[in-house]
Each structure stands twice: as C-alpha cells, then as structure tokens.
Amino acid sequence: MNTENEIISKKKVNRNTILRALYDREINGIKTRMNCVKTTYKVLYPNCTVINVEKPPCFLRKFTPDGRHFIAFSQDQLYIEVYAYLGCSMAAKLLKNYEGNCIGQNNDGDVVRKRIFESLFQLKFRILVAAEGEQLNRECSLFTENSSYAILGSVGPIPHNVILDYDDVFTNNESVSPNLLLPLENYTIHLINIKKGAVSHRLHFKADKISLSHNQGVYLLKDVLAVLSIQHQIIHVYNLIQNRFCLLKKIGRFCFENDFAFISSVHTDMIAEDYKAHNETFTNGLKNKLMVFLYKKAERESEKAGTQYPLRRFYQFYDQFMSLRMWKIQLLDVDNMLIRYASEEVVTAKIQEPSTQASFFMIYNMTTATVLNVYENTSSDLLHGYEYFCDTFRNPYLNPDGFMPCSPSNNIHSRESHEKFKNTMLNARFGGTMEANKRILGQLPIAAQSFSCSPYLDTSLYSYDEKWVSPMERPKVVGEYPIRFYSRELGTLSFCLYTSVSRHRPTQDRRRLVAFTFHPTDPFAISVQRDNLEYIVNFHIRKVYLPE
C-alpha cells in the first residue's frame, strides 16, 4: 500500500462562498477594484428560477445601461412603459419559504408567480409614443450613455388616400425599386426622456424603408445618431443637442452640405422647379468616391505588378460596382463609418440567402468625406482587423461595475471559441478560407447595443454553452435541459437557468425560441419564451436563506 500514487496528495478544492470571499478580502490586503468585483460575482449569482411569471399585459424589452429602469412596450405597441427597478432584495421575503432552485412547476409557487413582478418593478410612466396609424417596433430601442434618453422607432403603412408621385419614390438615381417584400412605409424615430416620462423630439421619414428590427437601420454612438434610408440610399446623421435631434449632414447624393450649391452653380438647371434628380446621368456623390477609390486601387496594383490585369478586372466588373447599393451601416467612431454594399436584389430582400452573395465593406470618414478602404466580404485583412479590434466594431458600453461584453479581442476564452468556429468552417465540406471569412464577416456591420454587459456572461468567470445563451442579445432555441454555468476557476457547477416546460409535446418541425435579458449588475435575468402564440416569462434571481 506504499505505492507512489497513494502518497501523492490530492489538490484541495475550496468552494467559493460569501463568507470566504469576505474573509479573503479582509486578510489579503489591497486589491484592484475589478478583482474585488469579480470575486463578488463568483459567489453571488441567480440560483433560482421562477417559471411562468404573471406580468402586466405588455412586452418586456430591456434594462437601461445603469440598471435603474426597465422598458416595456404596451400590448397595442402604442405606449412605452417605464418601470423603476427596485432590486433583487425586494423579493427575498417572497422566496424564503420555498425550497429548490425552480419555482412554479406546480401549484406551490402560485403566490410567487403572481407577486414577484410587482415586488421587483414599479410603474413610473406610461407614455403615448406612436403616432396615429403607426406601431412601435419592439426590437428597436437605443439608450444614451447616461441612461436618460431612449430612442425608439415606429412604423405604419401609407394611407390609402395618399397617392405617391414618382418623384417621392425615386428621389435620386440611386433609389431602389420597392416590391412586396420591401414595401414603402412611414417611419418615425422618437427621443424619449426616461426620467421625465415625455417625448422630447421626433423625426419623420415618409414613404421610406428603414430596417428597425434589431437596430439594424439606426445606430447610436455617444451623441451621434445615424439612420440609413434603404429606399433613397441616404445616410441621415444627427447630433443629440439639448433634448433634440439636430441634423448634421445627409450622405448619399451629396457628401458635404455645400455640394448642392457648388454643383448647381455650374449646372444651373438643378435649381429649376421641374428638375428631376432621378434622371441625373452623373454618378451619386458617395458612389463616385467608392468608384474612384476602386479605380485608384486597381491602378496602383497594376503599376506594382507591371501588368494591366487589375485594371482590366475593374473595367470588367464596372457595371456590377455601379449597381451596388447601401445595405447596412455602423459607426466605428464619431468620424468613421462602416458601410456594407450589396446588389439591389440583396438590399430589397429578393434573395433568400443574402450571406452567400458578394458584398463590399467601405470605411468612410464623414468629416473629410474620404474613403479609407474597401474590402470584399471574403477579405482576410478585414477579418484580422475584426478579430484583433473586435471592440471597435461592437462599440460596447461599460456597466456601472466596469464590465464590458467579452469578445475575441479582450477575452482568451471567447477567442478560443471563435477559433474553434473558424476551424470548423475551414475543415468543413465545401468549406475553406473564403467560406470561413464570408461566414464570420457576415456579422458586419454589427447593430448598436447588441451585446449584454452582464458579468454572468463573462467567459472569464463562467463557462457555458453559447448555443443556448450568449452576450449577443438575440433569441436562441430552447434547450431540452437547463442551461448550466460552471465556475471557470473551480470547474464546478455554479448555477442553472431553467427555461419553461412546454405544455405541448415538442415536435421536430416546431422550434421554440427564448430571449434573455440580463440586468447590467444584479444577479437577475429575464427570459421570454415564445411557444406558438403564447409568451412565457421566467425570472432568474438570487435566492438567499433568511432566518426566522
């Protein structure tokens, strides 16, 4: 019995507890603030799920960046409801008499299901936002950095008694042709004062097409708002000044504010009342800068290679370049913008799988009106830039404790997950470098405020399967089992997030989706599951032992 294996001491695993964390903080001297905060989140986590919570008749949306308020849409999608978040501790007494980490699977949890919403949230304002004939888009919401204002979007059909002129639909020679998949509608962008419960300002876009879902057509960075009009191929850039949207510039037909005055001084027919901009034969201002950049790039490559092949390629695809239209945009900073170009069939949703089509990314400086670079959607250079400077593309905001969404450029575990996905694409059948680049770059441009800054989604603290939940706030397929979160330090199970148990037997042709909304700092998350036409809300919260 004196073998070498028996004398090897086993490593002692110390479980993280609140008492141990407080003890270590007391005796281990001064640490950095972030280390203390991370230690706290290792021992405080949402260890209880309340299934099928009863809530007011509304659609739950998300928390403000500071976590003090919660935004919801009314059932008719005309009003916005602003709730004050009271904190997890307000539900402690309500949960103390229940054992286990899943409440609501039987009748024993009816009291909790009915009262927990009013214990955590208090209605402050109910604001009428949408104009007559319009409805708010539930997937469109942006917040300013100080959490004082929310930007929402509403859309409505064009009234039947309004007859559109040809000039209203085609305002310039880059305008796209509307179809049944891309109908023209009226849009309104609303600026909501959350603290006062009032609408501060509105922007109206008549007979237009703007992608409001998941904030794809609107982008907010600091105090700069960019809105892409797909129909008219114009980027509207606004500045938030004194509770109002102030127009900075329109980028498309012209790139500077004085371009029209300068060009009309030469082409005097442009100032005539009957002038038709859609009949212009010269190239659109922004498109002209794109074409000039591509030509000069081909010219430099021809001189460097000593052959005319790059220039011949440019002329070969000249018509395809001219037919490109703006599809998506995002702000990289307050001066630079990433614009994705694709064919008109892709932009107008005529193609079912747009990610398989060729597209181009242009980095454009709005201040100097210069094109910095143009990449194809299979470019390895752009992919490397995205991998190493991912946060520049995501533009995440820090939560009050200093956490930011983990990404391949700031988290080694996210980088490993990214490399694993990339290698899968490289080694897959019909895969390869170009296919992998196209799949990854298909995420660009990234919509504003698409990632959660919750510390419980930080992969340096917890390990979880990103197939079921991830920092990107998009609906996921409901798994058969609870979502398990493992301690990255110890490798042990820390907590589980239980999704609702379907009342119907699952079938192969029916997929249930669930969307998670995490509080920026507290151990609290909301999951909304759609099962056919029914919405089931779960609360994932911290439950503590309270002595009698």
DSSP state of 145: T
Contact indicator for 223, 455 with CB cutoff of 8 Å: no
Residues 6+ apart with CB under 8 A from 439: 355, 425
Contact indicator for 338, 329 with CB cutoff of 8 Å: yes
Q: Token pair of 144, please?
A: 């300013």
CA 88 to CA 23: how far, in whole Å? 24
Q: Token pair of 62, please?
A: 């998300």
Residue 476 within any structural domain of the chain = yes
Residue 48 within any structural domain of the chain = yes
Contact indicator for 80, 529 with CB cutoff of 8 Å: no
Residue 535 within any structural domain of the chain = yes
pLDDT, tens digit, 9 for 90 and up, residues 63-93: 999 999 999 999 999 999 999 999 888 888 8
CA 477 to CA 466: how far, in whole Å? 11
Containing structural domain, residue 109 = 17-55+92-120+470-548
pLDDT, tens digit, 9 for 90 and up, residues 504-530: 554 444 568 899 999 999 999 999 988
Query: What's the average model confidence in pLDDT over 464-484?
Result: 88
Percent of the chain clearing pLDDT 90 (strictly above): 46
User: Which position has the token pair 């390869």?
Assistant: 432
CA 520 to CA 68: how far, in whole Å? 10
Contact indicator for 112, 92 with CB cutoff of 8 Å: no
What does the mean pLDDT of the chain come to?
86
Torsion of CA 444, 360, 172, 219, to 10 degrees: 20
pTM of the model: 0.88
Edge-to-edge order in the sheet of strand 483-487: 462-463, 483-487, 493-497
Residue 479 within any structural domain of the chain = yes
Q: Token pair of 544, please?
A: 């503590």
Q: Could you tell me the pLDDT band of residue 166, with boundaries at 50, 70 and 90?
A: confident
pLDDT of residue 45 exceeding 60? yes
CA 236 to CA 245: how far, in whole Å? 11
Contact indicator for 301, 293 with CB cutoff of 8 Å: no
More confident residue, 195 or 510: 195
Q: Which helix (H) or strand (E) holds 394?
A: helix 390-394
pLDDT of residue 37 exceeding 80? no
CA 149 to CA 243: how far, in whole Å? 9
Nearest to 456 by CA among 384, 382, 527, 353: 527
pLDDT of residue 294 exceeding 90? yes
Residue 284 within any structural domain of the chain = no
CA 186 to CA 280: how far, in whole Å? 26
Residue 26 within any structural domain of the chain = yes
Query: What's the average model confidence in pLDDT over 275-288?
Result: 84
CA 312 to CA 184: how far, in whole Å? 39
Percent of the chain clearing pLDDT 70 (strictly above): 89
Buried b (16+ CB within 10 A) or exposed e, 523-537: bbbbbbbebeeeebb
Task: Determine the distance from the C-alpha atom of residue 273 to the mean position of all C-alpha atoms in its chain, rounded to a whole number.
Answer: 42
pLDDT, tens digit, 9 for 90 and up, residues 328-365: 999 999 999 999 999 999 999 888 788 778 899 999 99
Residue 146 within any structural domain of the chain = no
Which neighbouring-strand residues pair with 13? Answer: none
Residue 67 within any structural domain of the chain = no
CA 50 to CA 60: how far, in whole Å? 16
pLDDT of residue 11 exceeding 50? no
Number of domains in the chain: 1
Q: Token pair of 154, please?
A: 């509403």
Contact indicator for 193, 151 with CB cutoff of 8 Å: no
